[in-house]
Amino acid sequence: MTNQTPIHLCIATGQNAANLIPLKQLNAKRVMILQTPDMKAQHSGANLKTALSPYVENIQLLSFDDSTPQNIEKAAESIAYKLDGQDVVFHVTGGTKLMVLSLHEQLKLLGAGAGTLEVVYTDTQHQVLNWLGTQKRQQPMQDQLSLVDLLLVRGYRTLNDTRPAKDQKRAQARAKVSRYMGDHAQSLGGFFSALAYKAGSANESGFLEQRFDYPPGGSAIKLLELAKEQGMLNWEKGQSELHFADQDSARFFAGGWTEEFVFLKLPSLLPPTQYATNAKVIQNSSKTENEIDAIAVKNNRALLVECKSGRQNKAQDAIYKLRQVVQQVGGLMAQGLYVSAQKVSDSDRSRAKEYGVHVLAGEELQELSQFIRNWAKS
């Protein structure tokens, strides 16, 4: 290439992470985004421009008519004319084959003049950048996407503060209780459902004093004593009555503890910009809102987590919803994880496997750290 700053030419697609990752990694300074009418209708070009804006000042968004082969050829000629004399890096991950072939044929003329042409294909599955120009080579893909990057490029934004400092502080204050519940999920068994039900009632009604049908025993005794030590509730051994300290504590036992149990595992593996809990996100184009118990990003891939603590009469529905959110918010490279304090039936597990959703339930919660570690390395 010459000494001039190259223009990175890319085609907006429904999976724009494949454009954003190399543009960040290659430190692009000038970017030209082509969008077909379909991609414009889906706001794909606008989403990519929004995600790029914090990193690139010079971004052009151009329309590309792909309605007929003749229009494709004409549009490709127009783009090549605009780029005459420029150094160009052509990203060929997006667009149809006919678009890419037409553009490449026209852009090859750059090499006959003052400009140059490099061609790169982003292989997100194998995490490499494939250079297809005069010097064919592979370049390892770097970990580029933050949580905000991933949401913006998918056309989403957050409705709440997803910075983890406040949640981490709260989770650490109750870490002993969360870890005990997660590490003893098998022995606590059905008590989870009873406790979650009472806590939910306390939170919804405001009546913080609740009564079990029978005095808790076994591992439940240690849990309630530990919670009492942490100032989260009042309870005396052998009694059926308990009194939650406040509604925040009630929300914790109603289900929030599973989210905090997940949250406690993330800081040792990821920087603060790559994970969040209790994220409320909205799709800019449709205004569709989603609540995500936990979301993490590593190696340009997302992990979306759904947490449940009580008995799941409709686990299949929750798993199906998680699958939809994974596809919509996370994209093709994302995975879903369903975390449940209660056991999940074989039929629900089969459906989860069909949907590509991983399940950790009951005593499997003790495997959470290893699961996240394996995912982060993949």
As a dihedral over the C-alpha atoms of residue 14, residue 17, residue 19, residue 22, rounded to 10 degrees, the angle is -170
pLDDT-based confidence at residue 355 (cuts at 50, 70, 90): very high
What pLDDT does 320 receive?
93
Supply φ then ψ for residue 314, to 5 degrees.
-130, 55
For the chain, give the mean pLDDT. Answer: 90
pLDDT: which is higher, 363 or 78: 78
Strand pairing category for 301-308 and 335-340: parallel
Domain limits, CATH 3.40.50.10770, in the chain: 7-144
Is the pLDDT confidence value at 372 over 80?
yes
Architecture of domain 262-377: 3-Layer(aba) Sandwich (3.40)
Is the pLDDT confidence value at 133 over 80?
no
What pLDDT does 217 receive?
92
Neighbours of 207 (CB within 10 A): 12
Domain limits, CATH 3.40.1350.10, in the chain: 262-377
Question: Is the CATH code 1.10.10.680 the one for domain 166-255?
Answer: yes
Domain limits, CATH 1.10.10.680, in the chain: 166-255
Tokens of 224: 């309630």
Decide: pTM greater than 0.75.
Answer: yes
Question: Model confidence over 4-46: pLDDT tens digits?
Answer: 799 999 999 999 999 999 999 999 999 999 999 999 999 999 9
Residues 79, 141, 359, 305, CA torsion sign: negative
pLDDT: which is higher, 36 or 342: 36
What pLDDT does 278 receive?
83
Question: Of the CATH numbers 3.40.50.970, 3.40.50.10770, 3.30.2270.10, 3.40.50.880, which one belongs to the domain with range 7-144?
Answer: 3.40.50.10770
pLDDT: which is higher, 369 or 109: 369
Residue 240 DSSP class: S
DSSP-based three-state secondary structure for 358: strand
Is the pLDDT confidence value at 135 over 90?
no
